[in-house]
């Protein structure tokens, strides 16, 4: 009944009902950030994202796949199915219950969140981007994807949208599985501790009077903070930052999308490295 690459029949089960407790649990992980935090688990969707999780060493509690996905993606699914503690073959109606996309691939994984990485694990000689209450999950995911691509040492996340929001995970293209992400209830507290360790704290603001990021070359460890899409960086975070920086712009635009601004800032932070 099951494809040859599934490790053993006793690890598999077919689920046809959306009322199955496993499906209700997975669907709740999809919809509820508090439930994700409470249980320390999240759900990933899509062939690439789910296999990225498995290949990145994320603990996969369960894989949910449709028979069609098993038939189409036998080889590509192997890392996920080999890593999963349990494998569930699901019907299309169950797939629809778990999907957050318009065109589902029929591949899902319930995973354990990586151990909460405290801010004291930040390398004081490293280069980091910090997000202060970003509200758009796509912005946060894109920020993390760019941070990984440019070789930053990690991302500090202070409030805002959940890093395990399905839209954040998709926008990050798996970067959040590989890049150290440090969550903080109060970003200002972590930044203050990093300042005490000698790190330079930069606050990105749309202010012509701030220093141009293109002309600034801070040495040693550094963190650049980007703010909320509507309100910018909070006053308490601004208060602990050493320098306000801005992206010089031409034309009539007053500001940039948060993810676009973060990409420029990160490029400027690393372009003279190495």
DSSP three-state, residue 8: coil
For 226-243, write each residue's pLDDT tens digit: 998 888 899 999 999 999
Instruction: Give the residue numbers spanning the domain of 88.
Output: 9-112
**What whole-number distance in Å separates Cα of residue 206 and Cα of residue 185?**
25
For 185-208, write each residue's pLDDT tens digit: 889 999 999 999 999 999 999 887
The residues, any chain, with a CB within 8 Å of residue 260's CB and separated by 6 or more, are: none
| Same-domain pairing of 160 and 225 | yes
**What whole-number distance in Å separates Cα of residue 56 and Cα of residue 51?**
8
**What whole-number distance in Å separates Cα of residue 90 and Cα of residue 12?**
11
| Same-domain pairing of 68 and 138 | no
| Same-domain pairing of 105 and 186 | no
**What whole-number distance in Å separates Cα of residue 203 and Cα of residue 110?**
36
Domains of the chain: total: 2
**What whole-number distance in Å separates Cα of residue 128 and Cα of residue 265?**
11
Last residue of a domain, one of 43, 77, 112: 112
pTM of the model: 0.86
| Same-domain pairing of 161 and 241 | yes
H helix count then E strand count, the chain: 12, 12
| Same-domain pairing of 94 and 151 | no
| Same-domain pairing of 191 and 249 | yes
pLDDT for 117 equals 56
The residues, any chain, with a CB within 8 Å of residue 95's CB and separated by 6 or more, are: 64, 66, 104, 106, 108
């Amino acid at each position: 009944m099951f494809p040859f690459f599934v490790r053993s029949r006793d690890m598999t089960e077919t689920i046809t009902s959306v009322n199955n407790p496993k499906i209700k649990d997975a669907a709740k992980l999809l919809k509820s950030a508090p439930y994700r935090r409470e249980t320390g688990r999240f759900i990933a969707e899509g062939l690439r994202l789910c296999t990225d999780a498995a290949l990145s060493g994320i603990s996969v509690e369960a894989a949910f796949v449709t028979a069609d996905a098993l038939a189409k993606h036998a080889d590509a699914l192997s890392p996920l199915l080999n890593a999963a503690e349990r494998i569930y073959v699901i019907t299309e109606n169950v797939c629809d219950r778990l999907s957050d996309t318009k065109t589902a691939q029929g591949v899902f994984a319930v995973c354990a969140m990586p151990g909460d990485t405290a801010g004291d694990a930040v390398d004081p000689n490293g280069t980091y981007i910090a997000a202060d209450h970003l509200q758009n999950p796509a912005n946060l995911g894109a920020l993390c994807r760019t941070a990984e691509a440019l070789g930053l040492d990690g991302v500090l996340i202070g409030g805002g949208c959940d890093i395990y929001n399905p839209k954040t995970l998709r926008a990050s293209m798996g970067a959040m599985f590989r890049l150290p992400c440090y969550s903080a209830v109060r970003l200002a507290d972590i930044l203050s501790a990093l300042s005490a360790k000698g790190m330079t704290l930069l606050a990105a603001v749309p202010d012509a009077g701030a220093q141009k990021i293109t002309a600034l070359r801070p040495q040693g460890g550094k963190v650049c903070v980007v703010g909320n899409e509507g309100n910018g960086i909070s006053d308490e975070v601004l208060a602990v930052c050493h320098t306000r920086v801005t992206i010089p712009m031409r034309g009539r635009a007053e500001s940039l999308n948060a993810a676009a601004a973060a990409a420029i800032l990160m490029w400027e932070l690393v372009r003279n490295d190495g």
